[in-house]
Structures are given as C-alpha cells and as structure tokens.
Structure 1
Amino acid sequence: MSADANEAHTSRFEGSYLGEAARLPKNARLECKICWWVYDPAVGDPVWQIEPGVPFAELPEHWRCPECDGDAEQFMVLSENA
C-alpha cells in the first residue's frame, strides 16, 4: 500500500466497513457512524427500495444512509452481541 493510500485508509474510523466485502458475512448488520441507523439485511431499506435479504456488500454503489446521507463505506460492522 502506498503512503498516500495508507494515510487515507488509517484516517478513517477503525470499525468502518471501508468496502471490504470479502470480510463481511452476508447477514452482517452495520451501523451508520454518523446517525446510528442500522442496516439489517433481514429488513432491507424501504427508503431506497432495497428488498429484505440483500446483504450490505450487495447494495448499489450509489446507496447512502437513508437517515443522514452518509457514505456506505463509513458504516461500522456490528458485533453479533449488538
């Protein structure tokens, strides 16, 4: 990783998704770090017309938090106990 890429990567929040779909289980719930809205694949997102069953990693590239318009990459992966 280049110094610029490393700096950009480390400047983001530690628990952020950062677009790393390979490490994300299909049933993972993620929380917006700005407004705390939770994306749950079992529920989907009625605002963006995302049907239940769609994993976070398969959301459209233009998808953003329906509450605060935050970037998908800034969502935090919730632990199983959350």
Structure 2
Amino acid sequence: MIEYKNWVCLICGWIYNEEEGLPEEGIAAGTRFADIPEDWRCPLCDVGKAEFAAVEF
C-alpha cells in the first residue's frame, strides 16, 4: 500500500493531501508534494512550498 502524506501550510493551516491532489489546479490525485512545481503557491494564503511541512494524523 502506498503511503500518502499530508502537508500543512505553516502560515494559514491549509492542508495538501497527496492522495486527493488538487484537481481544480491541475494537480492529479496521487501527486507527491515533491512533484508539484516549485513555483506553486498555497491556494489560501499564497506562500511558497518552503512554508509547508509534512504532518501525520
């Protein structure tokens, strides 16, 4: 079984779920956070990928 991670924005708390992806922004389900383009921005507060951290629930 593939282990997907959740990544939380340290600024606003928005969560990117690798398993769900972000289809409305063209990021397919199953897309790893590392595979998202480096210029991608948080859809809620517009910070870059450096402001995200992996979390486990």
TM over 0.5: yes
Q: Find the residue that maps to 1:57 and give its secondary structure.
A: helix
Residues 40-75 of structure 1 deviation map (CA, whole Å, 9 limit, x = unaligned): 011111342211010001001111111111111110
Q: Which residue of 2 aligns with 1:37?
A: 14
Total equivalences in the alignment: 55
- Structure-to-structure mapping, 1:14-29, within 5 angstroms: 27-29=4-6
Unaligned runs of 5+ in 2: none
Structure 2 length as normaliser, TM-score? 0.82
Identity rate of aligned residues, in percent?
Answer: 36
Q: Which residue of 2 aligns with 1:73?
A: 50
Cα root mean square deviation, aligned: 1.4
| Secondary structure at the counterpart of residue 50 of structure 2 | helix
**Structure with greater Cα Rg:** 1
Aligned to 1:16: none
Structure 1 gap segments, 5+ residues each: 1-25
Once superposed, which parts of structure 1, at least 4 consecutive aligned residues long, lie more than 6 Å away? none
